[in-house]
């Protein structure tokens, strides 16, 4: 399986910069998901890797070979699109075998290889059928089979599950994950569906307006979002983000906003600064209204039933706070409410840049490697998303 490196890749369409200086190192056996909202440049980036679009700047390297301007057929990558693009007049067997026939491989080899792939994808019983006699999920598997039969160096997939219904998507996600593990395949996979990213990826690259916002294992980008953009993109509902100030009085450091008072478990005196405080809906814990100093205090405005869970929407000062918990959540619209959370679930971001902030330990040399600690000295130093995600390594 191949290693793909992308260096400073940029694509401009007239005045639109679709992809802006993106660098990635996609290792052997990586399952990298390109995630982001509609129009953020995911498909353009994938198509540049595939050789379907020429970059305006930057390079694409395949196992150290510069393939930036090489045609797709010289890249040893197989692409699976959202539309399966199967040949309607050919059987499943001939659809899967097509890439080998067009390379004029011996007939016996084609038959053997197609059988092998069909077994792997649970299509052996369907080899004689035509695409119209298949379900959406089966067609999708045939499209994957056609990519697989070539033994490519890497698979490039552009929203391959988006035409499937919810149940089939879940089942096919599991199959793709199993396939990845079994083959150790290098996969670059485009989606705007965060559940697909979280469940399948070994690493997720989150794009925003053509730029790489953060790259890392799914749990890392969920637990340590590099910016308010990442925090507000992941999660359902996403992280609560409230404008606030961090202030110190007599060595006590607190995050303050109307209805918000979060102690920062640190000491020091410094000028107040504007920040955004973040806490995930599932990390809010209801506390008694008589509690001395709850971190968040407000009023419930609505409660939404999600089946096994409920989401309470609360007004906290001028902001809205979502709390998620098992049903019944025990909150009713119109009632006052108070929440706490734990220290490691409080996220701080610089108000102007949106970048994640970390507490700075007293020993500055340890600052880059030491997690926030209750005993640390001066709080809140800005870190850029590049520091957090290390996108180029
Ligand atoms: P989606 O999830 O909606 O498919 P995406 O993240 O894949 O979106 P791209 O299709 O890569 O986004 O598009 C990125 C930007 O580049 C968009 O603003 C889009 O309008 C623009 N764009 C893409 N292709 C072209 C083109 N051929 N000509 C002009 N602009 C384009």
Q: Given this model, what pLDDT does residue 190 score? A: 96
First to last CA, the chain: 19
Residue nearest to atom 16 of ligand 1 (CA): 18
Token pair in block for residue 82: 């959202």
Nearest-CA neighbor of 384 among 273, 209, 219, 226?
226
Instruction: Say how many Å lie between the CA of residue 41 and the centre of ligand 1.
Output: 6
pLDDT in tens, 299-341: 999 999 999 999 999 999 999 999 999 999 999 999 999 999 9
The closest alpha carbon to 155, from 134, 131, 176, 178, belongs to: 176
Identify the three-state secondary structure at position 241. strand
390 confidence band (pLDDT: 50, 70, 90) = very low
For ligand 1, atom 2: residue with the closest CA: 38
Question: What pLDDT score does 165 carry?
Answer: 80
Q: Taking Cα atoms as reference points, which of 186, 175, 189, 167 lies closest to residue 145?
A: 175
161 CA distance to ligand 1 middle (Å): 19
Domain at 233-387: CATH code: 2.40.50.140
Higher local confidence (pLDDT), 229 or 264: 229
Is it the case that residue 376 has pLDDT exceeding 50? no
Q: How confident is the model at residue 174 (pLDDT cuts 50, 70, 90)?
A: confident
Q: Determine which residue's CA is closest to atom 3 belonging to ligand 1.
A: 38
Q: What is the pLDDT of residue 303?
A: 96
Instruction: Quote the mean pLDDT of the chain.
Output: 87
CATH number for the domain formed by residue range(s) 4-226: 3.40.50.300
**The predicted structure's pLDDT at residue 342:** 86
Question: What is the per-residue DSSP string for 43-92?
Answer: HHHHHHHHTSS--SEEEEEETTEE-TTS-GGGS-EEEE-SS----TTS-H
* Residue 208 in contact with ligand 1 by CB distance below 6 A: no
**Which two three-digit tokens encode residue 46?**
């994938």
Q: Is 225 in the pocket of ligand 1 (CB under 6 A)?
A: no
Domain ranges (residues) in the chain:
4-226, 233-387
The residue among 232, 229, 231, 199 whose CA lies nearest residue 217 is 199
Q: Whole-angstrom Cα distance, residue 101 to residue 28?
A: 28
| pTM of the full structure | 0.86
Least confident of 249-258, 281-290, 379-388: 379-388
How large a percentage of the chain has pLDDT more than 70? 90
> For the stretch 71-99, what's the b/e string if a residue is b when 16 or more beta carbons lie within 10 angstroms of its beta carbon?
eeeebbbbbbebebebeeeebbbbbbbbb
Instruction: Verify whether ligand 1 is closer than 6 Å to residue 54 (CB atom).
Output: no
Is the pLDDT reported for residue 360 higher than 90? no
* Distance of CA 44 from the midpoint of ligand 1 (Å): 6
In this prediction, residue 57 carries a pLDDT of 98
Count of CB atoms situated within 10 Å of the CB of 236: 12
């Amino acid at each position: 399986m191949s290693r793909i490196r992308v260096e400073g890749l940029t694509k401009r369409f007239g005045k639109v910069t679709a992809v802006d200086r993106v660098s990635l190192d996609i290792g052997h056996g990586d399952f990298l998901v390109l995630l982001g909202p509609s129009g953020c440049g995911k498909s353009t980036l994938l198509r540049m890797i595939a050789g379907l679009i020429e970059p305006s700047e930057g390079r694409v390297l395949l196992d150290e070979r510069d393939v930036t301007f090489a045609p797709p057929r010289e890249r040893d990558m197989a692409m699976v699109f959202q539309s399966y693009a199967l040949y309607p007049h050919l059987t499943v067997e001939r659809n899967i075998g097509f890439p080998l026939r067009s390379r004029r491989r011996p007939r016996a080899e084609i038959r053997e290889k197609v059988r092998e792939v069909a077994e792997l994808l649970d299509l052996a019983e369907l080899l004689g059928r035509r695409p119209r006699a298949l379900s959406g999920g089966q067609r999708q598997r045939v499209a994957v089979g056609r990519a697989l039969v070539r033994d490519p160096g890497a698979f490039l997939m552009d929203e391959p599950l988006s035409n499937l219904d919810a149940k089939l998507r879940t089942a096919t996600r599991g199959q793709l994950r199993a396939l990845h593990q079994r083959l150790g395949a290098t996969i670059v996979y485009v989606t705007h569906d965060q559940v697909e990213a979280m469940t399948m990826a070994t690493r997720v690259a989150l794009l925003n307006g053509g730029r790489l916002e953060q790259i890392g294992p799914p749990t890392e980008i969920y637990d340590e979002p590099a910016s308010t953009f990442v925090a507000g993109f992941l999660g359902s509902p996403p992280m609560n983000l409230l404008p606030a100030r961090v202030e110190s009085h007599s060595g006590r450091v607190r995050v303050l906003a109307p209805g918000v008072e979060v102690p920062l478990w640190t000491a020091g005196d410094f000028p107040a600064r504007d920040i955004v405080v973040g806490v995930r809906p599932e990390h809010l814990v209801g506390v008694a209204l008589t509690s001395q100093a709850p971190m968040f205090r407000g009023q419930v405005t609505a409660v939404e039933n999600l089946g096994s869970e409920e989401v309470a929407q609360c007004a906290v000062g001028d902001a809205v706070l979502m709390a998620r918990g098992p049903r019944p959540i025990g909150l009713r619209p119109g009632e006052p409410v108070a929440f706490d959370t734990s220290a490691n679930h409080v996220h701080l971001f610089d108000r102007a840049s949106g970048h994640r902030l970390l507490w700075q330990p007293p020993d500055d040399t340890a600052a880059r490697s030491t997690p926030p600690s209750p005993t640390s000295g001066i709080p809140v130093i800005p870190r850029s998303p590049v520091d957090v995600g290390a996108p180029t390594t």
